Each structure stands twice: as structure tokens, then as C-alpha cells.
Amino acid sequence: MPTTKLVSLREAIAQFIPDGSTVVIGVGLESCIPFAAGHEIIRQRKRDLTLVGPISDILFDQLIGAGCVRAVRAAWVGNVITGSGYSFRRAVEGGRIEVEDHSNLTLALGLRAGAMGVRLGRPLSEPSPVDRPELGLGDEADVGFLDSTIGLVWRALVVILFLLLLLAIARALS
């Protein structure tokens, strides 16, 4: 009988999200927000989570209101229809959660760098190096790799311009 990697949502949350985890939610934008997973996190009473997400919508607000969240790294926390995330606002005003404000771009770059194992360094606002494993545990970025990528882009641009020139000549001759 083949072994399956499928587990129930309840088992997955219990196994892969211990208290104190950093959880990325809402990267598929509004249509793919994992409400079932968020509600299971609430049911299991997970605590001290750090939530990361570009468009957090109401799920972040629900997790904060349920007392599951210690920190938020997001571009925006609220609800598309009603606006403000009221639990988020109360928690910030009451000093119950830490907030690290980002743009969608910096979140996307940080998540991509982490997936690639590239260390981005530290935020510009911090005066000294800080251990930030969520930004990537890998080696420093390889500048030689970047140079070869730029060279490839330039060669592709030259080929495209040459093809456009050939098309223009063919059109002029016909």
C-alpha cells in the first residue's frame, strides 16, 4: 500500500505550526486567503505567532482578535469591504502586538529571497546587524551570478532588436 503525505488540516496545523511560529498568509491575495487554516489555528489556540503577508485581509484581524498573534509583518491589515482591522487597531493601540510595516514589494522580495536561501541583510532603520533568519539563511548574494544574468538580458535584447530590424526590412521590401 503506497504511503501518502496527505494529512488533515487539523494534523497539519498541529504538526507544522508550533507556538511562536512565523506564518505567511495571504500571498495569493484576496481570492486565496486560507480561512480554514486560520480558523483551525484559532481552534487549536496557537499563541505568539508572527504573521507575514502582503494583503492580510480580515483573517489577520481574526487571528489577532483571538489572541494568537505576537507580531505582524505586513503591507496592510484590514478588510477590503469594511476598511480598518478593528482587532488589529486595538492590539496596536494597547501595545499587545509588534508591527513591522512593509510595502508589498519588500515583502515579496523578502519571501523570494528566503525561498532562494539568499540573505538580504538588515533593515536600513536598524543601526546594528540583527539575526533575521526569516529573510534567508543562505550565503550572501553572488555578484558574478548577477553579472551573467544582466549579460543574458542584454544579449536577448540585441537578438530581439535584430529580429525587429529584419521584420522592418522585409516589410519595406514587400
The per-residue pLDDT for range 78-115, each reduced to its tens digit, is 877 777 889 999 999 999 999 988 888 888 888 887 77
Tell me, what's the pLDDT at 94?
Answer: 94
CA dihedral angle for residue 50, residue 55, residue 61, residue 62, rounded to 10 degrees: -90
Residue 129's pLDDT band, with cuts at 50, 70 and 90, is very low
Identify the helix (H) or strand (E) that includes residue 62: helix 57-65
| Sequence ranges of the domains in the chain | 9-102, 142-174
Helix 35-43 / helix 57-65 crossing angle, nearest 10 deg:
0
CATH architecture of the domain with range 9-102: 3-Layer(aba) Sandwich (3.40)
**pLDDT tens readout for residues 27-45:** 876 778 889 999 999 999 9
pLDDT tens string 7-19 = 999 999 999 999 9
b/e per residue 10-29 (b: at least 16 CB within 10 A): eeebeeebeeeeebebbbee
The kind and range of the H/E element at 147 are helix 143-173
Q: Whole-model pTM?
A: 0.66
Q: How far is the C-alpha of 69 from the C-alpha of 49, rounded, in Å?
A: 5
User: Which band of pLDDT confidence, cut at 50, 70 and 90, is reported for residue 121?
Assistant: low
